[in-house]
Every structure is written in structure tokens, then in C-alpha cells.
């Protein structure tokens, strides 16, 4: 068992963690515990609370995050490959982010894509890619403030960057959704100050859920740095808070 907490600066909705960040933290705990084979698939059962002690307990091949008597998340080994969306150029990504319409953002202070986090979040602006339906893209230059001493971006920040663009492959203003499950594969950590491109593509929607994939590319070389698949679940904003 290990104890951890999520700092409030990394929130998605105001009272709970950014889903991608929480999944990245949990994947790291699972890796340290050594109970996984391969990639981590993280399922969020409840909103992950902020600034409170949580316990990570291993049960066989799974790990669970507990808040008191509640299981807020589970981690297991992922099955199958993650298909990455095809890359776009830096120019295409900049055109897409220029078309980003954040008005009516359901969570405007979100760490990753919030419109009211100047200089304190990732400031992702995933807009529609011309000629590619259900696909969004944006640029991202990681801040040195988010990197480690070696200048490399920690895994949980990369998970955050892979998370929110997927939410904009549908209309989050018309039908808000929260991350329910996420699997990521990190191939090479991005370096602070180096331009990246994030691409997200919708795979399907079914009633309250949406499934999408995201990819992070080096903006100069086009090298794939990370990719993820995610399941999103429609929510009532009044219940989220």
C-alpha cells in the first residue's frame, strides 16, 4: 500500500483531478508496484478528490485507489494495440487551434484545456482539422516549470496532454463528458521548450459514451512521442460541481 494525493493545481472540474493527470499518477504507482504486464489501463470510478490522502492498494494483478471506503479508480494491464491518429503538420495544427471555440467551456479552469488558466496550465486549444472529420489538433510547447531537472516532461503531464483533446472530438458544450477510462503508451518523453503537436480522433459514440484516440508528435521531426485511447462518459454538470 502507498499513499498519494493530487494537488489542486491539477484539477479538471473545480473539485476533482484532471482525468488524464490522475490516470498518469496511477499508472506510475502501478508501475512502481510491479503488478502490471505492459501498458496500464486506468478506470476512473469516481471523481478523484484533490489535496486529500488516497491509498493505492494492490490486489492480485490489479491496483485500486481508495478514498476512505470508496474505490475511486482501478488499474489493470491493457489489452491490444493503441491505434494512433495520423499526424498533421505544425501549420495545420495552428490553423486548427485558431479555430478553437472555447466559449461555453464546461470546465474553463481545467489544467489541460481550460480557457481561464493563463500561464498556469497546459493551455491546449484543440480545434477542428480541415478535411478530417471528427479530428482536432493543436500545438503544445511544454513549459520548463512542468519539467524535471533533466528538462523532460513527467509522464503524468504527458497523460494530461493526451487526455483533453479527445474530449473536443465531440461537442463538450452541447454534451459535457468526463474521462472514464484511459490507456496510454509513452514512447519518448517530450522536452520542455520543444514544440509538439497533439492530434485526437473520434472513433465512435454510443448513447452516453464516446471513444477516441490521441497522439503526441514532435513538431520538428514528426516523431510519435506518445499515444492513448480513452472512453468518455456524459455527465450532468450540476452533479459534477
Read off the pLDDT of residues 62-91 as tens digits, 9 standing for 90 and up. Answer: 999 999 999 999 999 998 999 999 999 999
Helix (H, G, I), strand (E, B) or coil at 32: helix
The answer to whether 174 and 237 are in contact (CB under 8 A) is no
E strand or H helix at 158: helix 155-167
Q: Mean pLDDT of all residues in the chain?
A: 96
Max CA distance (Å), the chain: 49
List residues bridging with 74 in a β-sheet: 43, 64
Q: How confident is the model at residue 194 (pLDDT cuts 50, 70, 90)?
A: very high
Q: Which three cell numbers stand for residue 146?
A: 512542468
Task: Say how far apart CA 73 and CA 49 lie, in whole Å.
Answer: 11
Q: Please tell me the predicted confidence (pLDDT) of residue 241.
A: 59
CATH superfamily of 90-240: Hotdog Thioesterase (3.10.129.10)
When the candidates are 3.10.129.10, 3.90.170.10, 3.30.420.40, 3.40.50.2300, the CATH number that belongs to 2-77 is 3.10.129.10
- Kindly tell me the burial class for residue 241, based on how many C-beta atoms sit within 10 Å of its own C-beta (0-12, 13-18, 19 or more): exposed
Which residues, other chains included, contact 150 with Cβ-Cβ below 8 Å and sequence gap of 6+? none
List residues bridging with 49 in a β-sheet: 16
The average pLDDT across 139-150 equals 96
Asked if the model's pLDDT at residue 50 lies above 70, the reply is yes
Question: Cα-flanking dihedrals φ and ψ of residue 195, to 5°?
Answer: -65, 135
Could you give the percent of the chain with pLDDT greater than 70? 100
**pTM of the predicted model, to two decimals?**
0.96
Domain boundaries, the chain: 2-77, 90-240
Task: Say how far apart CA 43 and CA 40 lie, in whole Å.
Answer: 10
The average pLDDT across 35-56 equals 95
Asked if the model's pLDDT at residue 240 lies above 80, the reply is no
Amino acid at each position: 500500500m502507498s499513499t498519494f494525493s493530487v494537488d489542486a493545481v491539477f484539477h479538471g472540474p473545480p473539485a476533482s483531478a484532471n482525468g488524464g493527470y490522475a490516470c498518469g499518477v496511477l499508472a506510475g504507482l502501478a508501475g512502481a508496484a510491479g503488478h502490471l504486464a505492459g501498458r496500464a489501463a486506468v478506470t476512473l470510478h469516481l471523481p478523484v478528490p484533490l489535496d486529500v490522502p488516497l491509498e493505492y492498494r494492490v490486489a492480485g494483478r490489479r491496483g485500486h485507489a481508495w478514498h476512505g471506503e470508496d474505490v475511486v479508480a482501478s488499474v489493470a494491464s491493457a489489452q491490444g494495440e493503441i491505434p494512433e491518429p495520423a499526424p498533421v503538420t505544425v501549420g495545420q495544427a495552428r490553423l486548427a487551434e485558431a479555430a478553437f471555440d472555447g466559449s461555453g467551456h464546461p470546465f474553463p479552469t481545467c489544467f489541460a484545456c481550460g480557457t481561464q488558466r493563463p500561464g498556469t496550465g497546459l493551455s491546449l486549444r484543440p480545434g477542428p482539422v480541415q478535411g478530417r472529420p471528427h479530428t482536432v489538433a493543436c500545438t503544445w510547447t511544454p513549459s520548463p516549470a512542468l519539467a524535471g531537472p533533466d528538462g523532460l516532461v513527467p509522464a503524468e503531464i504527458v497523460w494530461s496532454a493526451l487526455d483533453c483533446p479527445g474530449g473536443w472530438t465531440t461537442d463538450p458544450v452541447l454534451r459535457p463528458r468526463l474521462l472514464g477510462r484511459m490507456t496510454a503508451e509513452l514512447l519518448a518523453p517530450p522536452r520542455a521548450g520543444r514544440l509538439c503537436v497533439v492530434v485526437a480522433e473520434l472513433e465512435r459514440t454510443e448513447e452516453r459514451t464516446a471513444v477516441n484516440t490521441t497522439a503526441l508528435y514532435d513538431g520538428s521531426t514528426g516523431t510519435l512521442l506518445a499515444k492513448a485511447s480513452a472512453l468518455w462518459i456524459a455527465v450532468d454538470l450540476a452533479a459534477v460541481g
